[in-house]
Amino acid sequence: MLTVYPWWLQQAEAGERLGVDVPWVYPLLAWVPILVAGALGTAALPIVWMLLVVALDAVAFALLLTLPRGRAMATAWLGLLLLIGPVAVGRIDAVAAALAIIAVVQLRQGRQGVAAGLLTAAAWMKVWPGALWLALLIARRGRRTTLAAGAAVSAAVLGVAALLGSQHALSFLVEQGDRGLQIEAVAATPWMWLATAGEATVRFDRQIYTFQVYGDGVRDVAALATPVLVGVVAVVAALGVVAVRRSHGQEATVWLAVALVAAMIVTNKVGSPQFMVWLTVPALLLVEAGARRHWIAVGAIGTVGLLTQLQFPWTYDWLVLADPAAVALLTARNLVHVGILAGAVWMLVRAARRGRFAASAEQRREQVGHAVALDEEAVVAEAALEHDRLGPRHARGDAGGEALLVGDREEPVARDPDDERR
């Protein structure tokens, strides 16, 4: 942000607009926060950028507090940002994350179209919020609304691009196809260990301003990375469709969001530290769900955030020299990333296998407590207690076996036959 964003702005002022006149690695709406931050000139851009991010984060924080579990969500979010460190506010990912969090709040307040539109706009800044839009499309009713909002925002962006004479509005989809493996990428880890023994090298690529690893087989793995990413996301999405249809909607949706975002990180040929910001939004969904298994996942995300900050900026100078201790730290971070993906996929598999009775007794009791705390109609809590008495009959799928408690405007919650606390 201190050097690259001002340089991009200077290029635009000189007549070479990235994404318009020449290809760009980012979608076109990434220009919006850069142009806003550069309104007072390139010298003031870093300060204005920080003010912009703080303002957006303040709005997101205030809106989170309006939700039933908003205090816990807002506190967890701040904690995760502190663990990730300066990079959590110094990249375009911070703006996209704030928009995604605002979208989550809008969704919880019943504005699905607004939420889908915000997620689409965020995806036109940095691609990863598109995974959350996909989770929304899969998991909730009103899919036509989600599709319409996404189409409307995308049409507006492409329309503006056409007016600007851009022939590179979609260049971000292919622009990174020829790049190698960034040293922080999960797939680069074996070659980083080879570099510690002098059997691979780390070099700085001046075209894309990043350190990459070079060695036998790197080019082949880099070429496969993007197809693998697309394939893994497709498989996770298909699993999510099955899980949502067979299981409690909110439970499956949470793990689907985590799995999709984690898949985009683990299979990516880029492994930049700001990618950790992506996981903060699914982490809030985990906090909102609030059962023990969800907090374990939040703890894993917090751990990978701390490891990321230790790696960048504090030990990065050693990492680019392939210092064994720095590479060991990177390896630990990447293993946690893989663990988050594997755990989320496993929970999706469990949700798909169990059927509709996938919510834990702990989660059900918490939702009853929330209903009472919010002074909602007493019949909600009574229905939950009645459900506990009728659980076995409902679990058999007898007539009238619909779950009786509806929590947080989501799908019905019902008994989990494998609840670890039974």
Judge whether residue 64 has pLDDT over 60: yes
pLDDT score recorded for residue 206: 84
Angle at 144 between CA 397 and CA 156, to 5 degrees: 155
Lowest mean pLDDT among 20-24, 237-241, 256-260, 410-414: 410-414
Residue 204's H or E segment, with its range, is strand 201-205
Most confident of 126-140, 237-251, 342-356: 126-140
Instruction: Give percent helix, percent strand, percent coil of the chain, each to the nearest 5.
Output: 70, 5, 25
Selected residue with higher pLDDT from 416 and 296: 296
170-227: per-residue pLDDT in tens? 999 888 777 899 999 999 999 999 999 999 999 998 877 899 999 999 999 999 999 9
Q: How buried is residue 325: exposed, middle or buried, by Cβ count under 10 Å (0-12/13-18/19+)?
A: exposed
pLDDT score recorded for residue 401: 32
Averaged pLDDT, 338-351: 96
- The structure's pTM equals 0.85
Averaged pLDDT, 36-54: 94
102-121: per-residue pLDDT in tens? 999 999 999 999 999 999 99
Integer Cα distance of 18 and 94 in angstroms = 20
320-335: per-residue pLDDT in tens? 999 999 999 999 999 9
